[in-house]
Structures are given as structure tokens and as C-alpha cells.
Structure 1
Amino acid sequence: MLYLWVKALHIIALVCWFAGLFYLPRLFVYHAMATDEPSHERFCVMERKLYRGIMNPSMIATILLGAWLLYLNPAWLQMGWLHAKLTLVLLLVAYHRVCGAQLKRFARGENARGHVYYRWFNEVPVLFLLAIVILVVVKPF
């Protein structure tokens, strides 16, 4: 029964983390298009609150709960699909950190990219989500 509770909480944390990973780059799109100072300030506040208040805690919870699941099922560490999934999770953490660095560049007024770049950047988490879910559900190797 404990396993099911940990798994449910892991999925909930993952959904919250991905909500932020989908929304923050969308805010970057709008921020890159903003031309006035009040909009710049508003986007800075929204981005900071999303990153620090939702994304960071959700990422940490996802990782800790995932580690707990591994503790409860150590045999998974022998399976190829899990190694692939963990690699993708590490890359997703890197993407998360890139988002944080970009947030700081916007706050300093140093953004050098246009909204089209962020529209493409916004699609990256979708690819991670597709790959991770397929690995966990299908377990292809």
C-alpha cells in the first residue's frame, strides 16, 4: 500500500513540475514580445514565482519520491528502460536550470532572443514527457 501512495504522490509532483515546464517558456514568449516596463516587471514577478514557488518544489518532490520508489523496488535498477528514463530526467533537470538562467537574464534586462526562439524552446518538455511516459509504460528494453 505504501508503494501506491508514493507512486501517486510522485505522479502528482511530476504533473505539477511539467505544468511549470510548459508554462514558464510560454511566459518567456510573451516577455520577449513585451515592450513596456510595467509588462517587463509583471512578467519578471510571474516567472520568479512560478520557478521558485511551483517548479523548484515540484522538481525536488518528483526526484525524492522517484528515489523512494527505487528504494522500494531496487530490481528496477537492473532494467534498461529505467537507465534511459533516469538519463532523460537528468537532462530535464538541466532544462529546468536553463529556464532558471533565462529567467535571471530577463530580470537583468539581458534577453537577447526573440519570441520565435522561445516558441521552439517551449516544445522541448513535450519531447521529454513523451519519451519518459513511453519508457515507463511500455518498458521497451
Structure 2
Amino acid sequence: MIAWLKAVHILALMVWCAGLLALPGLFVHRSRLSDTAAAELHRLTRTLFIRVASPAAFVAVVAGTGLLFLREVFTTWMMLKLVVVGVLVVIHIRSGHLILNLFAPHGSFVAWRRWALTGATVCTIAGILTLVLAKPELTPAGLPDWLTQPGGLQSLVDTIKPTP
């Protein structure tokens, strides 16, 4: 069961990331097209985003959440990985926003933005892979005890609130 769920998770991530990497290349072609020709590119871009990348993102997140609870991987590196996955979600949302605005009349997407978005996506994917494959031992050096212990926030609240 876990092996199948992991396979689904990895495949969905591959499709999701491939879609996010392909989108900036499609965006940059918009400025070279007339508004009429851009309609076909818009259709293709929306199809890639709505019918391929977004469902793959959903499946990847659901399968990953299932793996998190089935394998009980509640470690520091995993929580940091979830933060980096959150960055990938932000890139996904930003790409959807670009699709909505880029194909308005006279929309354009300059080449440096393509490379910036692609670079951010590649760095985020590399961060996820690094955390998953290396599983680094991250120590919370310098943090107060209430941040590093389960239930620590409750004990902090108990010391702060006045007793009746």
C-alpha cells in the first residue's frame, strides 16, 4: 500500500513540476503573437494548467499527506520540506494568475521573467529533492525550550496567564 502511494506521489510530482517548468516557455511566446493567434496559445496554456498541472498537484499533495501519516514522518526535515512544497504551491498559484492576465489584449511576458520563474521553480524542486534524499538532521539550536518540545506552547501560555 505504501509503495503504491509513494509511486503515485512521485509520478504526480513529476507531472506537476513538468507542467510548472513548461508554462514560462509558453508565456514568453504570448508577446510574439497577435491577439487572434494568442487565443490558441491561451487555450493550450489553460489546458495544460487546468487539466494536467493542477490535478497532478492535487494528487501529489493528497498522496504526500497520506504518506506523511502512514509513515509517521513528523521530523524537522519533513516540516521544512512542507514549507518548500508551499513555495511550489505559490509558484503554481502565480502561474495561474499569469494565465488569467497575460492573455488580455496586448499582454506580454518578457524573457527575463521567464528565466526568473523557471529558476525559482528549479530551485524549489532542488530544495525538495535535497530535503527528501538527504533527510538532514536539523537541530533547533538557540531556540527556546517551548518551541522545541511537544506541548511547549501550552506550558508557555500557562506561565503567562494570570491565575484567578
> TM-score, normalization: structure 2?
0.78
Distance (Å, rounded) in 2 between the aligned partners of 1:108 and 1:36:
11
Q: Deviations over 1:68-97 (max 9, x none)?
A: 1012012x11x1110110001111101100
Report how many aligned residue pairs link the two structures: 137
Contact kept? 1:16, 1:54, Cα under 8 Å: yes
- Of residues 26, 31, 42 in structure 2, which corresponds to 1:44? 42
Using CA pairs under 8 Å that are at least 6 residues apart, name the structure with larger relative contact order, 1 or 2.
1
- Structure whose CA Rg is larger: 2
User: Which amino acid letter does the alignment assign opposite residue 46 of structure 1?
Assistant: L
Contact kept? 2:27, 2:109, Cα under 8 Å: no
User: Which amino acid letter does the alignment assign opposite residue 45 of structure 1?
Assistant: R
Q: CA RMSD in A?
A: 1.4
SS of 1:102's equivalent? helix
Pairwise CA distance, 1:119: 2.5
Distance (Å, rounded) in 1 between the aligned partners of 2:39 and 2:2:
44
User: Runs of 4+ in structure 1 displaced over 4 angstroms?
Assistant: none
* Structure number with higher helix proportion: 1
Q: Percent identity?
A: 27
Contact kept? 2:12, 2:56, Cα under 8 Å: yes
Pairwise CA distance, 1:39: 2.8
2:9 equivalent to 1:13: no
Contact kept? 1:10, 1:62, Cα under 8 Å: yes
